[in-house]
Structure 1
């Protein structure tokens, strides 16, 4: 199983499974911006090695200052971490929920973090007939059973945003809520959807952001949390010392200044995602029209194809796709793929066409 450790992008496992070198795969299983990393990252890695003899700033002041200015929120409401994964775990340990309301399907690390902190889970189902959009009545029904909500916004694996009606309810502060906005950078007019600024002042809202997806630096590990200063202080007390290394701090500070990269990334996605949706639907696949840089789709029952069959066939072709049936709430027909550059996307479509022809022909 390619998702042996719970994620896509595991090239070492792919190498073991399919006998190809790690760099011999076209990876659609992880959702990185194919335009990145920004060019400034290469310069920092080339020149910054001289400075790793120094300890990093334990308060991450320069990067927090840049984030404060860019997001228009106070520095004392920002905590930088070793990727969003650290912050998901840290938030659960700070809040210590007894019962957390999770959307199904959603990112598995929410549940893992809650269990590690000793809490239980209340399932809030997302339905295909609603394009996996969180429904207000389901959130309202869960309020009496949970003491924390933990939602992806946009959600992974569906790529769908939380509706304005549900966001308005969460902003009221009746229930503590954590919003994972790891992919919000990819959303057009993100300021209209993000609750970053509200979280900086609210006693009941935490917003998490990843910097690895949009800037394509997953090997660096970088993310940040926005919350009321009182909660940030509690999180700082539990955070491991030197969590954010020197190179990560320098890279994070530099990429935030690259406005040209941000503009070109959003232009690429605006052009490429509709094209890829159209191509997938022309193959007869049922595509969820998400807001970000990945797409969830399913193989119709009539095809008789499962995602595990598809993943094996595609892997032998050197193309990695995500088995979305591993997300609680999805069945064996669901798959997730990243949106990449046109040449790569053409290879994906050609590979899927070959796979569907072979598997349906064999079934017949």
Structure 2
């Protein structure tokens, strides 16, 4: 199984499974921005090694100040972490929910973090009938059973934002809310959808952001969270000292200034998302409309293809896709793919076409026999 460690992007396991070097794979299983990393990252890695003899700033002051200016949020409301994963874990440990409402399907680390803190899970089902969009009545049904909601906004693997009416209802309730906005940078007009500013003054809300996806630096590990200053101080007390290394701090501070990179990334996605969606649909696949940089789709039942068959066949062609059936709430025909550059996306479509034609031919021969 390529997702041996619970995530996509595991090129080491792919190398073992398909017998080709890591560098020869096109990775659609990991949702990184293919436009990046920004060019400044190369300069920092080349020239910044001299300063690695020094400890990093334990308060991450320069990056926090830059984030404060970018999002117009008080510095004391910001905590930087070793990727969003660390912040998810710290948040659950501090809030210690008894029962947490989690949408299904969604990112598995929400549940893992809650279980580690000793809490239970209340499942909120997302339905393909509604294109996996969270429904207000399902939140209302869960409200009396939980003391915390942990939601992806946008959600992974569905790519859907939480509807504004649902978020407004949650904010009017007395329930605590954690929003994972790891992919919010990819959403057009993100400032209209993000709850970052509200989180900075709210005792009820925590928002977690990733910097690895949009800036394509997953190997660096970098994320930040926004909450009321009192909550930030409480969470910071549990954070390991020097959690954010020197290179991560320098890179994070520098990339926030690259407005040309932001613009080119959004232009790329504006062109590629509708193109790839249309190409997948023309192959007969059932694609979920996405608000971000990845697409969830399924093979129709009549094709007789499931995701594990597709993952194996495409992997042999050097193409890696995410087995979305591993997300609770999705059946065995669901795949998730990142949207990449046009040349890469064309290779994916060609690989899918080749695979489907071969399966159809083999099934036709079996029927003749």
TM over 0.5: same fold?
Answer: yes
Contact 1:173 1:204 in 2 (8 A): no
Displacement, 1:171? Answer: 2.2
How far does the alpha carbon of each residue in 1:180-213 deviate from its partner, in whole angstroms, 9 at most, with x for none? Answer: 0000000000000000000001101000000000
Structure 1: distance between partners of 2:47 and 2:164:
45
Q: Which runs of 5+ in 2 are unaligned?
A: 365-369
Structure 1: distance between partners of 2:23 and 2:317:
14
Residue 189 of structure 1 corresponds to: 189
Displacement, 1:105? Answer: 0.2
Displacement, 1:173? Answer: 4.6
Residue 282 of structure 1 corresponds to: 282
Structure 2: distance between partners of 1:173 and 1:21:
52
Structure 2: distance between partners of 1:30 and 1:62:
29
Residue 30 of structure 1 corresponds to: 30
Residue 7 of structure 1 corresponds to: 7
Displacement, 1:164? Answer: 1.0
Residue 41 of structure 1 corresponds to: 41
Residue 367 of structure 2 corresponds to: none
Q: Does 1:231 align with 2:231?
A: yes
Structure 1: distance between partners of 2:110 and 2:52:
33
Question: Aligned to 1:80, what secondary structure does the other structure show?
Answer: strand
Displacement, 1:302? Answer: 0.8
Structure 1: distance between partners of 2:329 and 2:193:
25
Q: Does 1:241 align with 2:241?
A: yes
Residue 131 of structure 2 corresponds to: 131
Residue 168 of structure 1 corresponds to: 168
Contact 1:173 1:203 in 2 (8 A): no
Residue 222 of structure 1 corresponds to: 222
Question: Aligned to 1:309, what secondary structure does the other structure show?
Answer: helix
Displacement, 1:360? Answer: 2.5
Q: Does 1:108 align with 2:99?
A: no
Q: Which runs of 4+ in 1 moved over 6 A?
A: none
What TM-score do you get using the length of structure 1 for normalisation? 0.99
Pairing of 1:67-78 with structure 2 (within 5 A): 67-78=67-78
Residue 265 of structure 1 corresponds to: 265
Displacement, 1:174? Answer: 1.5
Question: Aligned to 1:295, what secondary structure does the other structure show?
Answer: strand
Residue 305 of structure 1 corresponds to: 305
Structure 2: distance between partners of 1:66 and 1:316:
44
Structure 2: distance between partners of 1:346 and 1:85:
32
Structure 2: distance between partners of 1:233 and 1:239:
10
Contact 1:187 1:292 in 2 (8 A): yes
Question: Aligned to 2:29, what secondary structure does the other structure show?
Answer: coil
Structure 2: distance between partners of 1:250 and 1:143:
42
Residue 205 of structure 1 corresponds to: 205
Say how many residue pairs are matched: 364
- CA RMSD in angstroms, aligned pairs only: 0.6
Pairing of 1:86-101 with structure 2 (within 5 A): 86-101=86-101
What TM-score do you get using the length of structure 2 for normalisation? 0.98
Displacement, 1:51? Answer: 0.1
Residue 79 of structure 1 corresponds to: 79
How far does the alpha carbon of each residue in 1:108-147 deviate from its partner, in whole angstroms, 9 at most, with x for none? Answer: 0000000111111000000001000000110011011101
Question: Aligned to 1:238, what secondary structure does the other structure show?
Answer: coil
How far does the alpha carbon of each residue in 1:24-45 deviate from its partner, in whole angstroms, 9 at most, with x for none? Answer: 1000000000010000000000
Structure 1: distance between partners of 2:188 and 2:253:
23
Displacement, 1:246? Answer: 0.3
Structure 2: distance between partners of 1:341 and 1:358:
26
How far does the alpha carbon of each residue in 1:66-125 deviate from its partner, in whole angstroms, 9 at most, with x for none? Answer: 000001110000000000000010100010011100000000000000011111100000
Contact 1:272 1:342 in 2 (8 A): yes
